[in-house]
Amino acid sequence: MVEGLTIKVEGIKELQTKFKALDVSIQNVMSQAVSQGAAVVERDAKQRVRVRTGRLRNSIREMKQTKTASRVESQVGTDVEYGPANEFGSARLSAQPFLRPAIDNNEAEIVAAVEQAIVSVLGRYK
Protein backbone atom coordinates (compact mmCIF):
# COMPACT_ATOMS: atom_id res chain seq x y z
CA MET A 1 0.00 0.00 0.00
CA VAL A 2 1.24 3.51 -0.89
CA GLU A 3 1.68 5.91 1.97
CA GLY A 4 0.07 9.35 1.58
CA LEU A 5 2.20 12.05 0.07
CA THR A 6 1.84 15.68 1.09
CA ILE A 7 3.16 18.50 -1.02
CA LYS A 8 3.31 21.93 0.52
CA VAL A 9 3.84 25.03 -1.60
CA GLU A 10 4.50 28.32 0.18
CA GLY A 11 4.70 31.81 -1.26
CA ILE A 12 1.97 31.49 -3.87
CA LYS A 13 0.67 35.01 -3.20
CA GLU A 14 4.16 36.46 -3.63
CA LEU A 15 4.65 34.46 -6.83
CA GLN A 16 1.34 35.72 -8.23
CA THR A 17 2.37 39.29 -7.43
CA LYS A 18 5.68 38.81 -9.26
CA PHE A 19 3.91 37.30 -12.28
CA LYS A 20 1.52 40.27 -12.42
CA ALA A 21 4.43 42.71 -12.21
CA LEU A 22 6.27 40.75 -14.90
CA ASP A 23 3.23 40.88 -17.18
CA VAL A 24 2.98 44.67 -16.86
CA SER A 25 6.73 45.07 -17.37
CA ILE A 26 6.75 42.92 -20.49
CA GLN A 27 3.83 44.83 -22.00
CA ASN A 28 5.61 48.15 -21.36
CA VAL A 29 8.91 46.84 -22.69
CA MET A 30 7.27 45.34 -25.77
CA SER A 31 5.60 48.67 -26.49
CA GLN A 32 8.95 50.46 -26.23
CA ALA A 33 10.74 47.76 -28.23
CA VAL A 34 8.18 47.90 -31.02
CA SER A 35 8.54 51.69 -31.12
CA GLN A 36 12.31 51.25 -31.37
CA GLY A 37 11.76 48.89 -34.30
CA ALA A 38 9.40 51.42 -35.87
CA ALA A 39 12.11 54.09 -35.51
CA VAL A 40 14.51 51.86 -37.47
CA VAL A 41 11.96 51.55 -40.27
CA GLU A 42 11.20 55.28 -40.16
CA ARG A 43 14.88 56.22 -40.43
CA ASP A 44 15.52 53.87 -43.35
CA ALA A 45 12.31 54.85 -45.19
CA LYS A 46 13.25 58.53 -44.94
CA GLN A 47 16.55 57.74 -46.63
CA ARG A 48 14.87 55.79 -49.44
CA VAL A 49 11.90 58.02 -50.29
CA ARG A 50 11.86 60.14 -53.44
CA VAL A 51 12.25 63.81 -52.43
CA ARG A 52 11.02 66.90 -54.25
CA THR A 53 9.92 69.22 -51.45
CA GLY A 54 10.68 67.10 -48.38
CA ARG A 55 7.03 67.00 -47.30
CA LEU A 56 6.67 63.25 -47.85
CA ARG A 57 9.98 62.44 -46.16
CA ASN A 58 9.14 64.61 -43.16
CA SER A 59 5.73 62.97 -42.76
CA ILE A 60 7.06 59.41 -42.38
CA ARG A 61 6.57 58.32 -38.76
CA GLU A 62 5.10 55.76 -36.40
CA MET A 63 1.45 56.46 -37.14
CA LYS A 64 -0.22 54.17 -34.64
CA GLN A 65 0.55 51.53 -32.04
CA THR A 66 -2.02 48.85 -31.27
CA LYS A 67 -1.81 46.74 -28.11
CA THR A 68 -3.74 43.66 -27.10
CA ALA A 69 -3.04 41.11 -24.38
CA SER A 70 -0.93 39.04 -26.78
CA ARG A 71 0.31 41.51 -29.39
CA VAL A 72 1.92 44.91 -29.86
CA GLU A 73 1.94 46.30 -33.38
CA SER A 74 3.15 49.59 -34.85
CA GLN A 75 2.32 51.10 -38.19
CA VAL A 76 4.91 53.27 -39.87
CA GLY A 77 3.67 55.36 -42.75
CA THR A 78 2.64 58.75 -44.00
CA ASP A 79 -0.56 60.71 -44.18
CA VAL A 80 0.56 62.61 -47.29
CA GLU A 81 -1.92 61.88 -50.06
CA TYR A 82 0.72 61.01 -52.68
CA GLY A 83 2.63 58.61 -50.39
CA PRO A 84 0.88 55.48 -51.73
CA ALA A 85 1.56 56.54 -55.34
CA ASN A 86 5.27 56.79 -54.51
CA GLU A 87 5.28 53.41 -52.73
CA PHE A 88 3.16 51.46 -55.23
CA GLY A 89 3.18 53.55 -58.39
CA SER A 90 0.33 55.05 -60.35
CA ALA A 91 -0.62 55.73 -63.95
CA ARG A 92 1.68 58.76 -63.96
CA LEU A 93 4.36 57.79 -61.45
CA SER A 94 6.60 54.73 -61.36
CA ALA A 95 6.76 52.90 -58.04
CA GLN A 96 9.67 53.69 -55.79
CA PRO A 97 9.00 51.66 -52.66
CA PHE A 98 10.40 53.11 -49.46
CA LEU A 99 8.40 51.51 -46.63
CA ARG A 100 8.47 47.83 -47.60
CA PRO A 101 12.24 47.80 -48.25
CA ALA A 102 12.80 49.65 -44.97
CA ILE A 103 11.07 46.78 -43.17
CA ASP A 104 12.61 43.98 -45.22
CA ASN A 105 16.19 45.29 -44.99
CA ASN A 106 16.06 45.86 -41.23
CA GLU A 107 14.26 42.76 -40.00
CA ALA A 108 17.25 41.47 -38.03
CA GLU A 109 17.75 44.82 -36.28
CA ILE A 110 14.06 45.04 -35.38
CA VAL A 111 14.02 41.49 -33.98
CA ALA A 112 17.24 42.14 -32.03
CA ALA A 113 15.70 45.22 -30.38
CA VAL A 114 12.67 43.23 -29.26
CA GLU A 115 14.77 40.33 -27.99
CA GLN A 116 17.11 42.63 -26.07
CA ALA A 117 14.17 44.36 -24.40
CA ILE A 118 12.65 41.05 -23.28
CA VAL A 119 15.95 39.74 -21.92
CA SER A 120 16.51 42.93 -19.96
CA VAL A 121 13.12 42.60 -18.26
CA LEU A 122 13.49 38.90 -17.50
CA GLY A 123 16.91 39.58 -15.96
CA ARG A 124 15.23 41.64 -13.23
CA TYR A 125 13.20 38.65 -12.02
CA LYS A 126 15.96 36.16 -11.19
**88-102 tens-digit pLDDT:** 999 999 999 999 999
List Cβ neighbours of 31 (8 Å cut-off, separation of 6 or more): 65, 67, 72
List Cβ neighbours of 84 (8 Å cut-off, separation of 6 or more): none
Residue 16 clears pLDDT 70, i.e. is over it: yes
Q: Percent of the chain scored above 90 by pLDDT?
A: 52
- The domain spans of the chain are 24-123
Single pTM value for the model: 0.76
Residue 2: pLDDT band (50, 70, 90) is low
- How much is the pLDDT for 1? 54
Higher-scoring residue by pLDDT: 102, 12: 102
Q: How far apart are the first and last CA of the chain?
A: 41
Radius of gyration of the chain (CA): 22
Residue 125: pLDDT band (50, 70, 90) is low
**45-83 tens-digit pLDDT:** 999 999 999 999 999 999 999 988 788 899 999 999 999
- How much is the pLDDT for 28? 81
